[in-house]
Amino acid sequence: MTIGSSMSSGYCSLDEDLEDCFFTAKTSFFRSAQSKVPAKNVAQTVEEEKPEPPTVQEIKQKIEKYNAKVTNCLLMKLNDDGTYTGFIKVHLKLRRPVTVPAGIRPQSIYDALKDVNLAEMTDKRTSFYLPLDAIKQLHISSTTTVSEVIQGLLKKFMVVDNPQKFALFKEMRKDGQVLFQKLPLTEYPLYLRLLAGPDTDVLSFVLKENETGEVEWDAFSIPELQNFLMILDKEEKEKIQQVHRKYERFKQRLQQTLKEARGKPG
């Protein structure tokens, strides 16, 4: 199933079915809000100078080396214009609900081919959780950017949330540790796949919430913001009640102590 003309050529299908997965919105929200606290002893990221882009001959050699390691039919193919196409897999690790149109039928092959945007057919919205760690396979070109991959995934699932709420990460394993690095929107995922080889244990791609350390309020819908205010209001009332109960206990103890002191003979 091809993504519409708004995507770069060569961007293709996501095929697995969804499963249910549940997390609380409150837990998800306050996890991101707490990330605003700066971590100690964190090394500053130093921007590396980008190397010169490889020549067509170098790309050809890399593709041949890549394809020799492929154990399935998911090969890379070099085009006459120097671009190339291939496959990447994206793990979905979203812990917050996504917003989708309410009461819309699933997208058909005809809709995808004709670039029919079902999300524009209704103003009604609902939220649900995408399956955690589901894997979606994409057929993309070497000119497909991270931004286009994110938009393509959202369009596939008819998610109407702001794309700025999501980010694509590359997951790497080193010395027994799992490391995540957020990719810039202008990065080319297929080139990273080519350099790393087909082994997903060496490199894989993950779609997660865009945790920037600052809550991007503009990326949330009005119902979401109203829900956050309700949560904050509830917690504020609970904290006030806790303080009242605490000092009420202190007051009772002091009064009891004074009463006992007055009752003792002088």
Long-range contacts at 232-237 (CB < 8 A, ≥ 24 apart): none
Report whether 4 contacts 115 (CB < 8 A): yes
pLDDT of residue 7: 39
Residue 43, pLDDT score: 42
> What average pLDDT values come out for the chain (266 residues) when binned by 10 residues?
39 38 38 44 50 87 95 92 94 86 57 53 74 85 95 85 91 87 95 94 92 68 81 89 92 90 75
pLDDT of residue 2: 40
Q: In sequence order, what are the residues at sequence separation of 6 or more whose Cβ sits closer than 8 angstroms to the Cβ of residue 63?
A: 76, 77, 78, 84, 194
* CA-to-CA separations, 189 to 129, 170, 206, 220, 261, in angstroms, rounded: 25, 9, 11, 27, 77
Topology, domain 56-104+123-214: Ubiquitin-like (UB roll) (3.10.20)
In the chain, where are the structural domains located?
56-104+123-214, 218-260
State whether residue 216 is helix, strand or coil.
coil
Residues in the chain: 266
d(CA 111, CA 201): 35
Determine the 3-state secondary structure of 120 from DSSP.
helix
E strand residue ranges, the chain? 77-78, 84-92, 98-101, 125-128, 134-141, 166-174, 177-182, 204-209
Q: What is the pLDDT of residue 6?
A: 38
For residue 19, which amino acid is it?
E
